[in-house]
């Protein structure tokens, strides 16, 4: 590979956007709800093959809407994945992808830069009311919070629910090994001193995580009720099933899959409540609901981690299991139902929602998201034919069509091996081999050449990115 550490790239075919398509004033602007789970694997819904987790509400949405089977998160860990979702840009562009520290921590000083234009700021241009509920993880200091990035209101835990461990926590200092002292039970909430915030103020610390899923759903429903007579955008980012796992009394012991299953089934129940509220308010046919996950499951936590199904590896890695996630699009009366095998990404939500809201993309920056409107309407294929797989600020793999090339492979959390730079990239035909078991590089040198040409065409702006990374790493 000529450029193992490409730090800024552009999918040239995905950045083309037609302002004329965006200015759709004939139709009522749809409401949009994005439900974003944390560390939920590709195989953790019954509609995606989970044998012992019941998710009837999401399964019904998948039947009535579209179930995507080749959908990718923007990154394999929290912070860069969320940056990609809200900006439509690979996180390396915003400085939210770093090789030094891949996620933000409670002692981090920085966050999503003010110069980034978020999906909330996009739809605000079209008169939308906006709310962020749940895990943000793009900076917990006031200037980086959702209320300074286009969201009218914020309610949630600003970073991962396992951060801010207290001195009373017997896991402190031993983390993964210590976690298994509580393998069959919920951990006391006061072992994690995470704050629950409303807008910019802490209203509860430690947050009662036993009830956090239910309260996030209730907040979402209240926002919908208050704004159902005008266009609204809601990002509901659940803090779970990231460990430590918590479920309300109603759902503890609810699932055949243990506490992890309880958590997923409570999230599914909340999704059902939101859908029912949309129907009750008679706005279901005016509302697009998207359900997906921020990255693959955290397998090192055994039964408290989810499943990537048949996919290889998990969270933190650029194998398929780290970044291919479940994705359901539901919009009754508008979306063409079916199973979609086209390539899609959380990056594309930004561009698609901007289009549906009638807002042109910013013309002063590269946006990596594709507009999925035509495939949602059953009018054509996804324009996304390529996908980049970053680990931190370094490009590890790239997909073009059915083929994916790995230039660097590396495990995480003590699993799936050490870092290897491949002189000849590994190549997998994901259509025939989604588990990435059979390297076909020797059989398809022409495909490797095409992927390399694709990478070489990407725009590179190292000066801008180096400045952004320096800002992030100074934290």
* Single residue among 384, 404, 421 that ends a domain in this structure: 384
Q: Same domain for 221 and 269?
A: yes
What number of other Cβ atoms are within 10 A of residue 186's Cβ? 16
CATH, residue 399: 3.30.1120.10
Q: Identify the DSSP state of 412.
A: B
- Residue 458 is predicted with a pLDDT of 66
Whole-number Å distance between alpha carbons of 462 and 468? 10
Q: For residue 107, is the peptide bond before it cis, meaning its omega torsion is within 30 degrees of 0? A: no
68 within some domain: yes
Q: Same domain for 362 and 465?
A: no
Q: Which residue intervals of 152-254 are DSSP H helices?
A: 175-179, 212-227
Domain that holds residue 216: 21-384
6 within some domain: no
Give the CB-side neighbour count of residue 24, counting CA atoms within 13 A.
Answer: 15
Q: Same domain for 363 and 315?
A: yes
**Residues known to be catalytic:** 78, 137
Q: Same domain for 431 and 363?
A: no
Radius of gyration of the chain (CA): 21
Q: Same domain for 47 and 163?
A: yes
The answer to whether 340 touches 375, Cβ cutoff 8 Å, is yes
CATH, residue 191: 3.40.720.10
Task: Identify the three-state secondary structure at position 360.
Answer: coil
- Residue 174 is predicted with a pLDDT of 62
The answer to whether 108 touches 346, Cβ cutoff 8 Å, is no
Q: How far is CA 423 from CA 64, 160, 359, in A?
A: 46, 37, 44
Q: Same domain for 91 and 159?
A: yes
User: Is the pTM for the entire model greater than 0.85?
Assistant: yes
Q: How far is CA 268 from CA 45, 290, 333, in A?
A: 9, 13, 22
Q: Same domain for 458 and 401?
A: yes
The answer to whether 114 touches 95, Cβ cutoff 8 Å, is no
Q: Same domain for 88 and 166?
A: yes
14 within some domain: no
460 within some domain: yes
1 within some domain: no
Q: Residues with Cβ < 8 Å from 56, sequence gap 6 or more?
A: 46, 268, 272
* Single residue among 384, 408, 433 that ends a domain in this structure: 384
152 within some domain: yes
In order along the chain (475 residues), what is the average pLDDT of each group of 10 residues? 39 38 57 98 98 98 98 98 98 92 94 97 98 98 98 98 82 65 74 96 97 98 98 98 95 95 98 98 98 96 94 98 98 97 98 98 95 97 97 96 98 94 98 98 98 78 51 59
Q: Same domain for 170 and 125?
A: yes
* Single residue among 384, 404, 428 that ends a domain in this structure: 384
Q: Same domain for 459 and 356?
A: no
Q: Same domain for 317 and 204?
A: yes
Nearest to 85 by CA among 153, 38, 47, 43: 38
Give the CB-side neighbour count of residue 216, counting CA atoms within 13 A.
Answer: 33
246 within some domain: yes
What number of other Cβ atoms are within 10 A of residue 86's Cβ? 32
Q: Same domain for 46 and 139?
A: yes
Q: Which two tokens stand for residue 168?
A: 């009373």
Strands 66-72 and 338-345 turn out to be: parallel
How many degrees, rounded to 5, is the angle at CA 89 between CA 94 and CA 162? 70
Q: Residues with Cβ < 8 Å from 446, sequence gap 6 or more?
A: none
Supply φ then ψ for residue 219, to 5 degrees.
-65, -40
- Residue 166 is predicted with a pLDDT of 80
Strands 403-409 and 420-429 turn out to be: antiparallel
Q: Which two tokens stand for residue 33?
A: 């709800």
- Residue 28 is predicted with a pLDDT of 84
5 within some domain: no
- Residue 457 is predicted with a pLDDT of 77
Q: How far is CA 163 from CA 106, 166, 169, 239, 474, in A?
A: 7, 9, 12, 12, 20
The total number of structural domains in the chain stands at 2
The answer to whether 112 touches 82, Cβ cutoff 8 Å, is no
């Amino acid at each position: 590979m000529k450029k193992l550490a490409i730090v800024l790239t552009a999918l040239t075919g995905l950045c083309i956007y037609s302002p004329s398509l965006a200015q759709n004033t004939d139709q009522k602007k749809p409401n949009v709800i994005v439900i974003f789970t944390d560390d939920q694997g590709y195989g953790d819904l019954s509609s995606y093959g989970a044998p012992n987790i019941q998710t009837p509400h999401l399964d019904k949405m998948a039947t009535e809407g579209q179930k995507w089977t080749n959908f990718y998160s923007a990154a394999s860990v929290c912070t860069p994945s969320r940056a990609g979702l809200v900006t439509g840009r690979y996180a390396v562009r915003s400085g939210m992808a770093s090789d030094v520290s891949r996620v933000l921590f409670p002692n981090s000083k920085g966050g999503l830069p003010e110069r980034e234009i978020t999906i909330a700021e996009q739809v605000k241009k079209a008169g939308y009311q906006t709310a962020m509920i749940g895990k943000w993880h793009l900076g917990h200091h006031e200037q980086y919070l959702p209320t300074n990035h286009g969201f009218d209101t914020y309610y949630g835990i600003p970073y991962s629910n396992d951060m801010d461990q207290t001195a009373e926590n017997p896991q402190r200092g031993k983390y993964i090994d210590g976690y298994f002292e509580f393998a069959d039970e919920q951990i006391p909430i006061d072992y994690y001193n995470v704050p629950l915030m409303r807008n910019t103020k802490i209203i509860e610390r430690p947050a009662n995580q036993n009830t956090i899923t239910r309260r996030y759903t209730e907040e979402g429903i209240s926002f919908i009720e208050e704004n159902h007579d005008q266009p609204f955008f809601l990002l509901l980012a659940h803090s779970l099933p990231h460990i430590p796992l918590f479920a309300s009394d109603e759902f503890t012991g609810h699932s055949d899959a243990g506490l992890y299953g309880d958590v997923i089934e409570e999230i599914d129940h909340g999704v059902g409540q939101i859908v029912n509220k949309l129907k009750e308010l008679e706005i279901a046919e005016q509302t697009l609901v998207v359900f997906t996950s921020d990255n693959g499951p955290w397998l090192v936590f055994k039964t408290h981690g989810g499943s990537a199904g048949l996919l290889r590896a998990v969270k933190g890695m650029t194998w398929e299991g780290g970044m291919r996630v479940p994705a359901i699009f539901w919009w009754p009366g508008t979306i063409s139902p079916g199973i979609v095998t086209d390539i899609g990404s959380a990056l594309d939500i930004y561009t698609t929602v901007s289009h549906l809201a009638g807002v042109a993309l910013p013309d002063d920056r590269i946006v990596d998201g594709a507009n999925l409107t035509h495939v949602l309407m059953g009018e054509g294929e996804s324009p996304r034919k390529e996908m980049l797989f970053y680990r931190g600020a370094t490009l590890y793999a790239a997909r073009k069509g059915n083929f994916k090339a790995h230039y660097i492979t590396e495990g995480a959390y003590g699993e799936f091996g050490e870092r290897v730079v491949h002189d000849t990239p590994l190549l997998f035909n994901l259509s025939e081999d989604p588990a990435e078991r059979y390297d076909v590089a020797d059989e398809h040198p022409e495909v490797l050449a095409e992927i390399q040409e694709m990478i070489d065409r990407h725009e590179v702006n190292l000066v801008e990115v180096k400045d952004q990374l320096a800002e992030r790493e100074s934290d």
